[in-house]
Amino acid sequence: MATRRPLVMGNWKMHGSLAGNAALLAGIRQGAASLRGQPELAVCVPYVYLAQVQAVLADSAVGWGAQDLSVHDHGAYTGEVSAAMLAEFGCRWVLCGHSERRALHGESSALVAAKAAGALAAGLTPVVCVGETLADREAGDTECVIGDQLDPVLALGADALSRLVIAYEPVWAIGTGRSATPEQAQEVHALIRASLGRHGAADTRILYGGSVKPDNAAALFAQSDIDGALVGGASLQADSFLGIAAAVS
């Protein structure tokens, strides 16, 4: 991680309220200023809170982004939000292909790659999520599944890959309280790193996500190919989120 700045990113999913967000963001903003080692911090929030987050976090050490985007630039796509719209709210980041989007909305890996390309074109940094189910892992198919999910993204080329982030989130560890061991996570991160390296992007950051908490974060971050975390539930409490970020240092 010597040449790859650690990144800790919160994914609020469909949680939040104006009053609750204000307290959470104030706590994160205040705590971020005192972190040693200065890992990069960001939160990805529901669309409706982007204006609030922009107002609270402007000129802070914490970035912000969205949890999804449309593959379309504009047009008759009711309910969709474009990359350009996100950029107008100061977003730097956007999640692409979270397992919940893949499972609940049928997003294909090709669509996820197209969204990532659209994000890059608008000046956003896509965080492309990949991960296997428990059935995949038990069948010994983890490498194959991850490879299939990555292939359309790898096809974007070295320049695009150098400007995005990959997040490995084993589906069986998301929101279950069950985390991959540091060794299990590192094994998959190493596979992803090797694939990126074959496409000229070995220094692309790879995050781990899946029940990351302050008490397991340090062991995960100690692994050579884990560059930070995509944090779900623990990002909804400032102390927990900052505790994870502090573990990077």
Catalytic residue numbers? 98, 169
Q: Which of 87, 52, 53 is nearest to 70 (CA)?
A: 87
Q: Are 214 and 240 in contact (CB under 8 A)?
A: yes
SS3 assignment, position 224? coil
Angle between helix axes 142-154 and 182-198 (nearest 10 degrees) is: 40
Burial zone of 147 (CB within 10 Å; 0-12 exposed, 13-18 middle, 19+ buried): middle
Dist. CA 168–CA 130, nearest whole Å: 5
Dist. CA 200–CA 149, nearest whole Å: 18
Dist. CA 117–CA 219, nearest whole Å: 33
